[in-house]
Structure 1
């Protein structure tokens, strides 16, 4: 069955949603959208690192995304004005990555696949990495779920409960870097943040508990992935952007329904 590229693409979309759903909920709750953008844009620099050192693309992406996430978290803890800082870091990382990749003319690099994803070309090995990374993120968030919720609600309350907010912030940083590494092939560096935010934002208006929101975000993400694949096949559109178009459409319809 896995010889069918459509089945592999569908499984990759569903696997990614297992990670982006719960993590996206925390991104929305903590207003970390730009944080996710900065980490995702650093993925292109990770591609350049992998090409320069003969590392696997996923490993190079993970290293640089984790370095960017830790840097941003450290600056945030020191009280930096994060809107401007994140804007500088996000766009600088993307620009440096694009310039660095241009120094490897001997390597046939299709930048569009890194920027917008190439889910239809996911191999068996890449599919396994997507699911492995997604399950690792899911396990990490499940392990720290209550502590993450408490520190998200109030850092003072977290301190009173014996929870270290900086440690929980690091957990989110690691989870975000893992998601960036596994999502690069599916939706690309420019669209990873959208896959984190839009399904979670859609689920927010229909959820009564944090767990319900995380679960609904997984469902919305999976349906958006499968719907984007169908749209891409039907209209011959780029698959990564098509996934986000479907997710945005679901969000718009959900918002209209709530306001009606």
Structure 2
């Protein structure tokens, strides 16, 4: 691998590690709450805000773009908090409906855009290889605030507080790595380590980091789409970790 390729991968790897920093603890809480597709719904709502900003030609104003994305994601957070009053089965159906409405709404907004296909691809699989240092600094500051709030308030955040923090973290990460990688970063490490008692957080970060490192390297080596490659390598790392854990656990007596 050449020096230029390493320079290209360095910011992308930092972006992935920043996403994991917040998404692993958030993903564990999502798994605990039993609202697995909440992250997809919030990510798609944030993406809808970005698309709407582009429709009104606000993409050249970073502040206006972020305000649109955050406002849309917070609206999704408020709707998810309201769904917490529903039974679990109905809640999952409502979350799925929110995702479908946000996704189809984005398609409708882009229907008259000649570059819609490229914009949709960027939203879903991201442009992790082209993240800027400014984006990394902004996401690092946001990640620090999200982690501090989770540590300081925990369960006292309540439903809306949790989903609002979730929305802020996902809004930033969607623009860095895309919807697919946001979902994988939230769910794969948390799911692969769900039966662990000791060192779960450390193992989850290891799985996510291995996924990003291998995915970035493989995508450059084989000239593959980077976001999609990382999703697969992370899923494989999580699957191997889960299998290793199940085989090493002592068998339970009947």
TM-score of Structure 1 vs Structure 2, range by shorter chain? 0.7 to 0.9
Residue equivalent to 1:7: 10
Deviation at 1:38, TM superposition (A): 1.1
Change in 2 beyond 3 A, CA 1:169/1:250: same
Distance 1:142 1:77 in 2: 25
- Alignment partner, residue 234 of structure 1: 221
Match of 2:177, SS state, is coil
- Structure 1, residues 208-260: CA drift from partner, whole Å, max 9, x if none? 3xxx4334323322222222111211221111111111111012111221232
Aligned to 1:187: 177
Question: What corresponds to 1:207 in structure 2?
Answer: 197
> How many Å apart are 1:47 and its aligned residue?
1.4
Structure 2 length normalisation: TM-score? 0.83
Give the number of aligned pairs: 237
Question: C-alpha distance in 2, partners of 1:199/1:78?
Answer: 28
Aligned-partner Cα distance in 2 for 1:193–1:126: 20
Deviation at 1:109, TM superposition (A): 5.6
Higher mean C-alpha displacement, 70-79 vs 241-250: 70-79
Q: Choose the corresponding residue for 2:49, options 36, 46, 51.
A: 46
- Equivalents in 2 of 1:78, 1:203: separation in Å? 28
Q: CA deviation at 1:18?
A: 0.6
Q: 5+ unaligned residues in a row in structure 1: which ranges? A: 149-162
CA distance in 1, matches of 2:91, 2:150: 24
What secondary structure is seen at the aligned counterpart in 2 of 1:182?
helix
Structure-1 separation of matches of 2:168 and 2:187: 16
Which residue does 1:72 correspond to in 2?
A: 80
Structure 2 unaligned residues grouped into runs of 5+: 248-254
Residues in 1 aligned to 2:117 and 2:104: alpha-carbon distance in whole angstroms: 19
**TM-score normalised by L of structure 1:** 0.81
